[in-house]
Structures are given as C-alpha cells and as structure tokens.
Amino acid sequence: MVQGTLIREPSYYWDTRVSDHGQDVIRIGFIVPGILPSMLRRALRISAPIVAALICGACASQQPSAAERKAIASEIEQEVRTAYDLSRPDVVKNLERLYADTGRIIAAAGGRVVASRDSVFGAIETFWKFVGSNMRNPRWMWDGFYIDVLSRDDAVMTASFHVPHLTPENMEHVIGGAWTAVFHKENGRWVIVQEHLSDLPPAMADSAHAHMMMGADSSATTSSPGSRQRRPPAAGRRQP
C-alpha cells in the first residue's frame, strides 16, 4: 500500500502512485466523518456516470458515422479511378499525385520492399516508360473495390484490375493484378502512405477479361477457330 501524507487542515489526505502507463496519479481522500464527506461521496456517485458518458461520447465522436464512411470510400474510389484514367494526359503525374507529398512511402511488390518516395516514383516512371507507353488503346478496368474506413483520416483500399490493350505488334494482350493501399488524409486530400502490389498471372488476366466481356460477346472463346492471339507475358503493372 502506498503511504500518504496527512494534512490536518482541511481534513483530508493525499498520496501519489504510478499508473500502468507510467503516469503519476494523485489520490485524495477525506478522513473526518461528517456531513461534508457524505455530500461529496454522494456527488461523486451521481457525477461518475455522467463523466464516464461524456468520455465515451468524446471517443465515439471521433469515429465516422455510416454516412461519413460511405462518403470517404466513394471519394477514395473516385480519386483512384480518375488517376488511372489512361485517356487523360500526363499519366505518370496523375499516378504520382495519389501519393503523399512528403514523408516516407512504403511499397511492396514481387517480394521486394522500398521505403522512399523517390523509389516509388522511379518504379512508376519505369513502368510507364517500358510497359505503359507501349500499350496501344489500353483500358484500365477495375474488377472490384474494397475500402475499409478506419477513421476520418485513415482508410485501407484493396482493388483488383486488368488492362486489355494491343501490343506494338498489334496483338491483343492483358495484364492485371491486385493492389492494397493505406490512405491518409493530408492537406485536404487522400494520399497513399503504404501499398502492396500483386501481379495476376497472364493466363488469369486473360480469363478475367474474357469473363467481363462475355456478356458483350458470348460466342467468343479462346479455343475457337480464329481465336485471338496472345503475346507472351509482359511485365505487370509495376514493381518497386
């Protein structure tokens, strides 16, 4: 038991102890019976639930409502769709704008990890120089978005995609993959601070595209006469 120091005027004692989190905590207690301690004890019993409710309310108010979560998820999805709209000019700049302006960015892909903004941007520029710029009539097609809003300032997105296009030899080809990114709201916009990329094997990318297009042309099959030619696998979206 922690020993307290008795102070005779007014009649109460106090002591200090260290909490589980390393903070000094001051405890005060009355030692003289009478009407004043009784009133204080009663007041504490009445006010304690109110204080607890206020604390819980403050914590709850920090969490976004269902409507806010929906709006945040929609905002992030639209931001990503706009950045990957390959019909817009300055594709590389559009992609780079998704990332934080300052600070560390961590990206993982193909069993490798980089932890610098310059390295991530270098990978994007390399991808577009050697892969993206050689795709004719590319269409970035999103297969699905899954966004978990963690707070008003943080969210996690996982999305799958494939990109049908023509090669420089005018052969049809598809790349695709899955992408998980951690977003943080910074200076009024959602930016990526961490990400993980996973390339889809070429045969599966072709299959995913064929499945999506089946409704448009149910008679098209890869085994029928005159089926589309496929170029050998090209590099995926990008790797750090």
- Band (pLDDT 50/70/90 cuts) for residue 17 is low
User: What whole-number distance in Å separates Cα of residue 239 and Cα of residue 116?
Assistant: 14
Amino acid making up residue 223: S
Question: Would you identify the CATH topology of the domain 66-213?
Answer: Nuclear Transport Factor 2; Chain: A, (3.10.450)
DSSP assignment of 60-129: HHTSPPHHHHHHHHHHHHHHHHHHT-TTSS-HHHHHHTTB-SSS--EEEETTEEE--HHHHHHHHHHHHH
Cα 127 to Cα 237: distance, rounded to the nearest angstrom: 7
Q: What is the pLDDT of residues 63-107, one digit of tens each?
A: 899 999 999 999 999 999 999 999 999 999 999 999 999 899 999
Say if CB 167 and CB 134 are below 8 A apart.
Answer: yes
The amino acid present at 86, given as its one-letter code, is: L
DSSP bridge pairs for 196: 108, 180
Predicted model pTM: 0.63
Residue ranges covered by each domain of the chain? 5-61, 66-213
- Cβ of 27: how many Cβ atoms within 10 Å? 11
